[in-house]
Structure 1
């Protein structure tokens, strides 16, 4: 079976395949949030050309707040719903902690290569929640097994449609004068859906 996520944005639609067999906890968390409509209506809050596109912060729901700074408004600091449960792709029950975070799922099978989806975190263990990013170039220093940095960002999927058109378009959006990582024009995630075939 193939699990596909469709991301419908204000700039167009792209799709990703999830690595559900190798990353059942991380993918199960994402699927649960998608089914809750957790991501629908949020804005992409971080764009760093030649590095990543990040979204999934529940604080990025208001486009007026979105124009503010990351530090002042807490954009980029939100996680999943605290102390809630979900099922991994193997059917096992898992619980998010009091901050809405899940346990790290660190395996060597997948590197932070261009076009992959990877979990964002605070830099501390087990701090991934609802936020993730798209690698828009190879970022091996983000792999926990690389050893060149302390970063540990688990990869759990890859873009399979719309990378060269929609994702690259988003990557090169005009950046705000007041914040070097936010687009000048808000880019909304209208809906995120998952299908299994």
Structure 2
């Protein structure tokens, strides 16, 4: 379990993006109910996840969130100015945490890419790293035949499972006395010498 000491949530309000332009992220109305698996290959997923988090890393390094904003979908751009993004990610930037490791680490998806009923592609997962794990949740909107950032939630947590609490000391049992060895009488007759 992650404790507040190891867990710092940094998120860009997804609700703002979702409600800013009703219907702007929808591709086509879908009669199917519920989320559907997204038709995207592994390389496409890796490209979207890594490029998005690296864009955030570059914005944090430079303090310039214009490119991150410009890479987003129209709904993302309308809901967020570069100054607002700077405010949202001020804590992460202040902690000077380097996110560039996502370029070489393999993400572990906890939510496979799926198309929500509003047409957005949704995915979530983590990059297990040391000393902190990078957890992410991303939304992408279709725009001119490409997926563009619509929402991002990023938090840092403790990497890997925490070790169990040490158990109370167990008193050693006194050693047992060695068992006496008893020789059982043999039931075999000794071999008889043979005469020539």
| TM tier relative to shorter chain | under 0.3
Question: Which of structures 1 and 2 has the bigger CA Rg?
Answer: 2
Higher helix share: 2
